[in-house]
Amino acid sequence: MEKRSIWKHAALAGGAAGLVNGFFGGGGGMVLVPLLMSRCGLERRQAFASSVAIILPLCVLSAAIYYIRGNLDLIQALPYLAGGLVGGLIGGRIFEKVPVAWLKRGFALLILYGAWKALTT
Amino acid sequence: MTWGIAFAAGTVTGVLSAFGIGGGSLLLIYLTAFAGVSQQAAQGINLLYFLPAAAASLPSHHKNGLLDKKVILPAVLAGLIAAAGTAWLSNTLDTGLLRKLFGIFLLYIGITQLVKRDKPGTKNTSRQPKAD
C-alpha cells in the first residue's frame, strides 16, 4: 500500500476509535481492529496488538477529561486497576497461543447480553 | 470481599484487553449491570483500568514484532483529537440516555461480530511489520 494512503486510512481508523473510546469510555478496539485489518492491511495479530498501542494514549486523555468532570473515582477504580495489571501481563504472554477468532464468537454472546441489560434496565 | 471480586473482574477482563478486543467492553458491562456503578463512573473506571493492562501487554507485543509504527502514529494523532471531543460530550449527557446509546452500540458490535466471517486469504495479503 502507498505510504500516504496508509497515513490517511490509519488516521481515519484512529479517529473513529477515538470518537467511540471517548464517548463510551471503551470499545475503541472493537472499531479499530476491523478497520486496521480491512483498511490498513494488517494481519489479525498485528491489528490486535497495534490497536492496544493506539488506544492507550486515547485512554490517558479521556481518563483525564473524565477526572476533571468528576466522573472518575480513583479509590473505586484501584482494585480493577490492580487486576488489570495482572491480567495484562498474563494476556501478553499467552497472546500468541490463543485462538482469537474462536474467542471473538464467545465475546459476541456476552456483548449481546450486555446490550440487552443496558437497553432494558 | 468487594475488593477481591473487583480484583478478579479486573484480572479476567485484563487478559482479554491484552488481546486488543472485548475486555474493556466486558468490564463496562460488569460494572453497570452487576456492580451497580453509574454509566459515566463506569466509563471513567474503564478508561483508567485499561492503562496498566495495555501498558503491561505492550512489551510482549513489541517483542513479537506485532506493532506497526506507520499505522500507529497517524491513528493516535487523529484519535486524540476525536477522543477529547467525545469524552467531553459524554460527560455532559444524561446518564440514562448514555446507557441506552451504549446498549445500541453493544447490540451493533455483538451482531457484527457474530455474523461477520473473515475473508479467505486475508492473512496471505497482509503486510509484514518492519523490524525497526
Is the pLDDT score of B22 beyond 90? no
**Percent of chain B at pLDDT above 70?**
82
**In the prediction, which pLDDT does B117 show?**
62
**In the prediction, which pLDDT does B70 show?**
94
CA distance A25 to B48: 9
C-alpha cell at B102: 451504549
CA distance A24 to B43: 6
Tens of pLDDT, residues A39-96: 999 998 899 899 999 999 999 999 999 999 999 999 999 999 999 888 878 887 887 7
**In the prediction, which pLDDT does B1 show?**
58
Tens of pLDDT, residues B4-13: 999 999 898 8
Is the Cβ pair B71, A40 closer than 8 Å? yes
Tally C-beta pairs within 8 A across A and B: 416
Nearest-Cα distance to chain B for A9, in Å, is 8
C-alpha cell at A44: 489479525
| Chain centre distance of CA B45 | 12
Tens of pLDDT, residues B28-71: 999 998 899 999 999 999 999 888 778 878 999 999 999 999 99
Is the pLDDT score of B83 beyond 90? yes
Is the Cβ pair B46, A56 closer than 8 Å? no
- What single string gives the DSSP state of each residue in B88-106? HHHTTS-HHHHHHHHHHHH
CA distance B71 to B73: 6
Portion 75-104 of A in contact with B at CB < 8 A: 76-77, 79-96, 98, 100-101, 103-104
Is the Cβ pair A59, B56 closer than 8 Å? no
**In the prediction, which pLDDT does B59 show?**
93
User: Does residue B35 sit at the A interface (CB-CB below 8 Å)?
Assistant: no
Neighbours of A7 (CB within 10 A): 18
Is the pLDDT score of B126 beyond 60? no
pLDDT, mean over chain B = 84
Q: Where are the domains of chain A?
A: 1-72, 73-121
The angle subtended at Cα B105 by Cα A57 and Cα A7, nearest 5°, is 40
CA distance A34 to B122: 12
List of chain A residues whose C-beta atoms are within 8 Å of the C-beta of residue B46: 25-26
